[in-house]
Structure 1
Amino acid sequence: MKRRDMLVGGLAGASAAAAAVAGGPAPAQAQSTEINWRMTSSYPASLDAVYGAGDTFIKVLGEISDGRMRIQHFAAGEIVGGFQALDAVQNGTVECCDTAPFYYVGKDPSFAFGASVPFGLSTRQQNAWFFQAGGLELLNELFNQHNVVGIPIGNTNAQMAGWFRKEIKSVDDLKGLKMRIGGLAGQVIAKLGAVPQQIPAGDIYPALERGTIDAAEWVGPYDDERLGFAKVAPYYYYPGWWEGASAIFLFINKDRWEALKPLDRAQITAAAHQANTLTIAKYDQVNPGAIRRLVAAGAQLRAFPPEVMEACLKAANEVFAEISAQNPLFKRLHDHMTAFRNEQYLWQQIAEYSYETFMIRARGRG
C-alpha cells in the first residue's frame, strides 16, 4: 500500500488539526493548489536523522499531494545560518523552515516550550501535550505573534548531557565551565557558575578541539557519533536533564499558511504528523548501536552525581519563577505543562515505569 493511500483517509482529522494550528475552523471546501516553496534548516545535511525530519516531511507531502506541493530543502548556511532560520521565515525570505524552537529564546523565552525545557516532558508526554492537551494551541499564540505557525515534525527523544573534557564530580566542577548548550538550560547552568555558549553544530567540534569550550551537548549517540566529539572530549554524561525530549518544528510564514486552501493545510499537517512518527522511530532504532560503538571506541559513560542533578533542578525552578514573574505567556505555558507532566507521572509510575524497570532488570539477569 502506498503512503498516500494510508494517509489520505486521515486528512479530515488533519484538517481539524490544521485548524487548531491556524486558530480557527477549517472551511468545508476541499481544493488544492500547487506550491513551490523553499525550506531552510537549522541543521547540516550530514545529520540524516535530525535534518532527515525535514526530508521526510517533504517526501510525504509530495506523495499525498500527487506532486502538487513541492518544497526544496536547504541545509544550515546555504541560505541563512542555522540560528537565523526562524527570521528567514518571519520576513518571507523563505516560506518555511525546520528548526528547534528553543534556539529563539532571545526573542521570547516561551519558545523553549516548543522544543524542551529543563526537567520537562518525555517524548510521549510531549506529543500528548501538543496534540491532545492544548499545548500546541498555546504555543501558536506565541508563534503567531512572530508571523509564523508551527507544527512538530520530529523529536530526538531523551538526549544525552553531552561531552566533557573533564569529569563532573560535584557542583563545584561546573564553576567556570564553558559549555555549548541551547535553550533555557544555559540560564540554569549559569546560576551554578558555568558559562553557556550558543554554537551551531558545525562549529562545536573545532571549539572542543581547541579548548575554546570545555563541554558541549548536541543530541545523542547517533548524531554525536557523526560529529566525532569522542575524539576531543572523552567523558559522555547523562541524563540530559534539559532535554527529556526535544521537538523539531516546521515553521511556516503566517501569510503563506493563511493563503493555503483547506486541503493544502490538511496535507501539510498530515505529512508533518507522519514525519514526527518516523523521526521518533528512527532515533529509537539507531541510538542503541551508536552508543555501543562509541563506548567501544573509548567514550567513557558517566552519570551526573545526584548532588549535581538536585542543584540543577533547584536552579531550573528559580529560572522558571524569575521568567514567569515577567512573562505571562511563559507562566501560562509552564503552569499548563507542569500540571500535565505531574498528572502523566501519576499514571506512568504505575504502568510504564514499573514495566520498564522490571524488563531492564530482567535483561541484566540474562
Structure 2
Amino acid sequence: MSAATRRRLLAAGTAAGTLGAPAVLRAQTPLRWRMVTSWPRNLPGPGMNAQRLADRIARMSGGRLMVQLYAAGELVPALQVFDAVYSGAAEMAHTASFYWAGKVKAASFFTTVPFGLTPAEHAAWIEHGGGQALWDELYASFGIKPFMAGNSSFQMGGWFKRELKGLADLEGLKLRSAGLGGELFQRLGAVTVAMGVPDIYPALQNGTIDGVEFLGPASDLAAGFHQVAKFYYWPTFTKPNGTAECLVGLGAWQSLPDDLKAVVANACAAENAYTLAEADWRDGQALATLVEQHGVQLRRWPADIVAAARRASEEILAGFTAGSDLDRRIQRSYQEARQRIESWSRVSAEAYLGSRGGGA
C-alpha cells in the first residue's frame, strides 16, 4: 500500500469518526424525568421510598435515565400529583392510589381495602391474579401507567385525642382518613377529612381534626402524632395493606427503549419488596419506643366498632356492583382473589402466628 493510499484511508476514517461522534454523544445524553410525590421529603417510609426509587432508576440505567424528585408542595401539592402526570407537568409520581377515589372510583383497590388483602395477598393478586391488567386499564384513559413501588405493610388503627370506648364515641368525631377507609368511618358516624401528609400534624395540633389514620408506627413516630394524641388503636381494619404506586405518563413510558422500560419496572419491583421488609423491621422498634419512651397508650378497638366496620365494609364493596363495567370487574376480581387465598392464609400465616403467640 502506497503512502498516498494510506493517507486517503486515514483521512476517510477520521472524517467518519467525526461524523459519527455527535450521534454517539446524543445517544449518551441522559433522559431527565421529574418525579412528584405526595410525601414530605425523606419522610421515613414513603418519602424515603420515593427517593430510593429515583436513585435506583439512575443506577440501574447507568445514568441514562435521571429522575429529579420533587417532594409534596415543591412542584405541585401532595394531592395533585396524579393530575401533574396526566397533564405532562411531570413524567412520574410516587403516591397512593386511594387518593384518587374521587375521580377514579375503583382506585382504592390498588392501595388497600377495609378487611381486604394483606401485603403478600395483594402482591399475589396484582402479579398473578389479573390485578395489574385491570389497574393498567383503569388508568389508561388518563394516559398513565401504574406500578407497585413500595409497601408500608399493615397499618395501625389510628391516633385519637380521647379514648374510644364504643361505637357511640365515633359520632361526630373529626378524623383524617383516605380512600375507602374514609367512607367506612363516615358510615360509622365520624366526619372524615382528606388532606395531604404535610397538613396532618398541624390539623391535629390545632383541633381541626380529633384523630388521624395514617401509617404504621415508624412513620407515625416520625410524623410526631404522639405529641398531640396519646391513644393509639389496633388492629387496623381499614388498611391491612400499604401499597404505594409509581405513576408514569404513557407518553414518557412509550418513548423509552425496551431496556429502560425494564429498568423502571424492575426498580419499582425492588422498591416494593425492600420497603415492605423495611416497614416490618422498623415498626416493631418504633412501637416499643412510642409506648416505653413517649407514654402512648395502646388500645384495641372496641368489639362493637369492629363489628359495625365489617358490616359497613361489605356494604361499600357491594356498592361497586352498581358502578361502571370496569368498577364491577375490579371489585369481582379483588373479591375472588380474597376468597381464593383466604383458606390458605387461615391455615398458614394466621394459624402459625396464633400458635407462635401461645394460642391453640
TM-score by length of 1: 0.88
Alignment of 1:268-307 (within 5 A): 268-296=264-292, 297-307=294-304
- Residues 288-327 of structure 1 aligned to structure 2 (within 5 Å): 288-296=284-292, 297-327=294-324
Please say if residues 32 and 261 of structure 1, whose CA atoms lie closer than 8 Å, have aligned partners that are also in contact.
Answer: no
* Cα deviation, residue 61, structure 1: 1.6
Q: CA deviation at 1:313?
A: 1.2
Retained in 2: the 8 A contact 1:109–1:184?
A: no
Between the aligned partners of 2:28 and 2:150, the Cα distance in structure 1 is: 25
Structure 1 gaps of 5+ residues are: 1-30
- Are residues 328 and 264 of structure 1, via their aligned partners in 2, closer, same or farther at CA, if it must alter by over 3 Å? same
Deviations for 1:264-302, whole angstroms, at most 9, x for unmatched residues? 111111111111111111101111110001001111001
Measured against aligned partners, the alpha-carbon deviations of 1:242-276 in whole angstroms (never above 9, x if no partner) come to 11001110000111111111111111111111111
- How far has the Cα of 1:121 moved from its partner? 0.7
The structure-2 alpha-carbon separation of the partners of 1:33 and 1:358, relative to structure 1 and needing over 3 Å to count, comes to farther
Pair 1:146-2:137 in alignment: no
Is the CA contact (8 Å cut-off) linking 1:205 and 1:229 kept in structure 2?
yes
Q: State which of 164, 186, 192 in structure 1 corresponds to 2:188.
A: 192
- Is 1:201 the equivalent of 2:197? yes
Deviates most, 152-161 or 41-50: 41-50
- Whether the aligned pair in 2 keeps the contact of 1:102 and 1:115 (CA below 8 Å) is yes
Partner of 1:28: none
Secondary structure of the 1:280 match is helix
Larger Rg: 2
Contact 2:44 / 2:218 at 8 angstroms: preserved in 1? Answer: no
1:134 aligns with 2:130: yes
Asked whether the 8 Å contact 1:191–1:315 carries over to 2, the reply is yes
- Deviation per CA, 1:318-352: give whole Å up to 9, x if none: 12222321232222111111111122121121222
Of residues 108, 112, 119, the one that matches 1:116 is 112
**Alignment partners' CA distance in 1, 2:348 and 2:114:** 24
Q: Structure 1 residues 336 and 235, CA, compared in 2 at 3 Å: closer, same or farther?
A: same
**Shift in alpha-carbon separation, 1:33–1:133, aligned structure 2, 3 A:** farther
Give, in angstroms, the shift of residue 34 of structure 1. 3.6
Query: What 5-or-longer segments of structure 2 have no aligned partner?
Result: 1-26
Q: Is the Cα contact below 8 Å between 1:102 and 1:114 reproduced in 2?
A: yes
**Match of 1:350, SS?**
helix
Amino acid at match of 1:325: A
Give, in angstroms, the shift of residue 32 of structure 1. 9.6
What letter matches 2:184 in structure 1? V
Instruction: Give the conservation status (yes or no) of the 8 Å contact 1:32–1:262.
Output: no
User: Does residue 257 of structure 2 align to residue 264 of structure 1?
Assistant: no
Tell me how many residue pairs correspond in the alignment.
332
Partners of 1:115 and 1:150 lie apart in 2 by 12
Q: Is the 8 A contact 1:33 1:261 kept in 2?
A: no
| Residue 156 (structure 1) aligns with | 152
Partner of residue 12, structure 1: none
Residue identity in the other structure for 1:88 = A
Match of 1:336 in 2: 333
Would you say the 8 A contact 2:42–2:48 is kept in 1? no
- Aligned partner letter, 2:174: K
Counterpart of 1:86 (choices 72, 82, 86) is 82
Deviations 1:106-156 (A, max 9, x none): 112111011111111100001111111110111110011111000011111
Q: Conserved in 2, the CA contact under 8 Å of 1:41 and 1:99? A: yes
The aligned amino acid for 2:275 is T
Q: Could you tell me the percent identity over the aligned residues?
A: 33
1:233 is aligned, of 221, 229, 242, to 229
Verify the 8 A CA contact 1:62 1:68 in the aligned structure 2.
yes
Residue by residue over 1:141-187, the C-alpha shift from the partner in whole angstroms, topping out at 9 and shown as x without a partner, is 00111110000111111100110011122111111011000101111
1:33 Cα deviation (Å)?
A: 8.0
Query: Residue 176 of structure 2 contacts residue 211 of structure 2 at CA under 8 Å; is this kept in 1?
Result: yes
The letter for the 2-side match of 1:332 is: R
Q: Check 1:32–1:143 CA distance in 2 against 1; reply closer, same or farther (3 A cut).
A: farther
User: Which residue does 2:45 correspond to in 1?
Assistant: 49
Secondary structure of 2:260's counterpart equals: helix
* Aligned partners of 1:32 and 1:264 also within 8 Å: no
* Runs of 4+ with deviation above 3 angstroms: 31-34
Aligned to 1:213: 209
Deviation at 1:360, TM superposition (A): 2.2
Corresponding residue of 2:17: none
Partner Cα distance (1:350, 1:193) in 2: 35
For the Cα contact (< 8 Å) 1:32–1:263, is it kept in 2? no
- Between the aligned partners of 1:82 and 1:128, the Cα distance in structure 2 is 29
Identify the residue that residue 18 of structure 1 maps to in structure 2: none
Q: How many Å separate the matches in 2 of 1:233 and 1:181? A: 16
Does the CA-based 8 Å contact 2:82-2:93 persist in structure 1? yes
Give, in whole Å, the separation in 1 of the partners of 2:352 and 2:111: 28
